[in-house]
Structure 1
């Protein structure tokens, strides 16, 4: 009874701004304001694949951070988008990948860094590094509250409001940069909820982009320590990691290579349980991520 009341309240708090429909391109629903405990107001864009409205089938779900940059140029930060719906349509048509509902969670403006910075890494940071993180976050780190909301009230509401398959094997999470860190945090800390994760151009330095000057071994230690304590064996999960070699992505290789080795040490088989790829010349921006998103989805969701 109480759970049903909470789900109803969640739905009421989400003001539906409108929906966009295309005959063969699926349908988007916008929720302008959703209250979430311990977080700034959240906003959602949910994409329903073609056929959702004309069938009774149930669908797996992909949760994606930075939802404002996924579908519509008018909502994007830099007039660039992932075109996540088009990527899903492409792999459905060309790779036989099963359609998924996409839940895009918008980043909350200036609170983005503190919502996406994994709390365990922040808590373990030495004072000088933590001070640089504080400059970036501008307030208390709330990624633990964000993960609790994602894997609890938000997922419960999505599963009750749409025809989903709620099991771990049918629940994925994806994001880039700080959203890449958050995706790796989610699948590591909530292995019973998320079965696949795409950690795209993960911002392993974990400090403001303008302050990244090179490799910091203390920062690497935060991540290898986090995965060593938290990741565990794959147990059927899949994780995709990648980066380019230009702009901000040029700083990531010294972190990614030891993290790959940490995955192997923990029993993850590259190419089967996890993938880690380098895209020469690719920059740290949405057009680059859009270009490789079909490849990412095809690998994560292959049969």
Structure 2
């Protein structure tokens, strides 16, 4: 079997094609509050956590936000990449405020707010890599993964994987704060989670770990390889095995997946198709499950921004708009 250390040596070809990949996260410097052209963006005070380092958290409120109304909540990872390309490391953003506002004004979705949780740079892989699948790997494989580098002298993992603690932070600390300070509907059916790449991994993992909390998860360009190669890579099978055993029963949650086929996304089609087969085998179907190839698209915020309306409509459709 090829050593996982060899995966890192293949990364440079992939990275040359995917220079905008959020796998290469921003540094730990606190960015300025992004500016939005629709709605209002607030930065929360630092929330002291028993589980993870503190980080900026931005909350987007739609135009006309009122405490007399109850709003669904969409939690999104990589919060510094969501709103304003002028403040991001690669000059791109998801354009979340503009798309979310337009969909709400047009009545295509229920009223909702967005909670953008910043990553903390070097720890991104350690926070977003699903922990239980990681621990299911042989100890020797885990140690090989910890030796991988994302750049010369820069480890891919900043330390031990602690995504279970990241989720504890979201569920037991951040969500109660949001529900206390904003006009939210705290029910599972109004609580959603979304991310791309590594953020896609932690999104489906969050819903599988906390099916009583989240009613829908969207994973765009999910980074199923976990590293930068699929050849002799045990990680995708570890994810599949976990989902096989821990996926909540069909019919109670929304699951959205998508993927492109260019740059880093070129690794994803066969892996996502394996995941799709598992979901079908377990009885998942429309309107609660959706997986889509966006042919010709790459691994970038620009690509995710262009199709953001699709997962937003899927997760946040008004009850009267959802198919029976």
Q: Residues 223-273 of structure 1, C-alpha deviation per residue, up to 9 Å, x if partnerless?
A: 11111121121332101101100000000112111111111122211x322
Find out whether 1:157 has 2:172 as its counterpart.
Answer: no
**Among candidates 208, 228, 238, match of residue 222 of structure 1:** 238
Give the RMSD, CA atoms, in angstroms: 2.0
Whether contact under 8 Å (2:76, 2:116) holds in the other structure is: yes
* Distance 1:300-1:226 versus aligned 2 partners, 3 A rule: same
5+ residue gaps, structure 2, are: 1-29, 149-155, 320-324
* Distance 1:128-1:285 versus aligned 2 partners, 3 A rule: farther
Find out whether 1:295 has 2:310 as its counterpart.
Answer: yes
* Distance 1:79-1:235 versus aligned 2 partners, 3 A rule: same
Counterparts of 1:22-101 in structure 2 under 5 Å? Answer: 25-31=38-44, 33-53=46-66, 56-94=68-106, 96-101=108-113
C-alpha distance in 1 between matches for 2:255 and 2:230:
26
C-alpha distance in 1 between matches for 2:68 and 2:268:
44
Q: TM-score, normalised by structure 1?
A: 0.87
Q: TM-score, normalised by structure 2?
A: 0.81
Aligned residues: 280
Q: Which has the higher strand share?
A: 1
**Among candidates 268, 273, 282, match of residue 266 of structure 1:** 282
Q: Residues 201-236 of structure 1, C-alpha deviation per residue, up to 9 Å, x if partnerless?
A: 0100112xxxx2334462222111111121121332
Whether contact under 8 Å (2:34, 2:84) holds in the other structure is: no
Find out whether 1:113 has 2:128 as its counterpart.
Answer: no
C-alpha distance in 1 between matches for 2:89 and 2:242:
31
Match of 2:187 in 1: 167
C-alpha distance in 2 between matches for 1:108 and 1:203:
18
Match of 2:9 in 1: none
5+ residue gaps, structure 1, are: 1-14
**Among candidates 221, 225, 229, match of residue 201 of structure 1:** 221
* Distance 1:74-1:36 versus aligned 2 partners, 3 A rule: farther
Match of 1:281 in 2: 296
Higher RCO (Cα < 8 Å, 6 or more apart)? 2
C-alpha distance in 1 between matches for 2:85 and 2:219:
23
- Consecutive aligned runs of 4 or more in structure 1 exceeding 4 Å deviation: 17-22
Question: What is the deviation of 1:26?
Answer: 1.2
C-alpha distance in 1 between matches for 2:261 and 2:223:
13
Report the 3-state secondary structure (helix = DSSP H, G, I; strand = E; otherwise coil) of the residue aligned with 1:35. Answer: coil
Whether contact under 8 Å (1:88, 1:99) holds in the other structure is: no
Whether contact under 8 Å (2:51, 2:169) holds in the other structure is: no
Report the 3-state secondary structure (helix = DSSP H, G, I; strand = E; otherwise coil) of the residue aligned with 2:98. Answer: helix
C-alpha distance in 2 between matches for 1:88 and 1:296:
11
Find out whether 1:123 has 2:143 as its counterpart.
Answer: no
* Distance 1:43-1:110 versus aligned 2 partners, 3 A rule: same
* Distance 1:274-1:133 versus aligned 2 partners, 3 A rule: farther
Question: What is the deviation of 1:19?
Answer: 9.0
Report the 3-state secondary structure (helix = DSSP H, G, I; strand = E; otherwise coil) of the residue aligned with 2:91. Answer: coil
Match of 2:151 in 1: none
* Distance 1:115-1:128 versus aligned 2 partners, 3 A rule: same
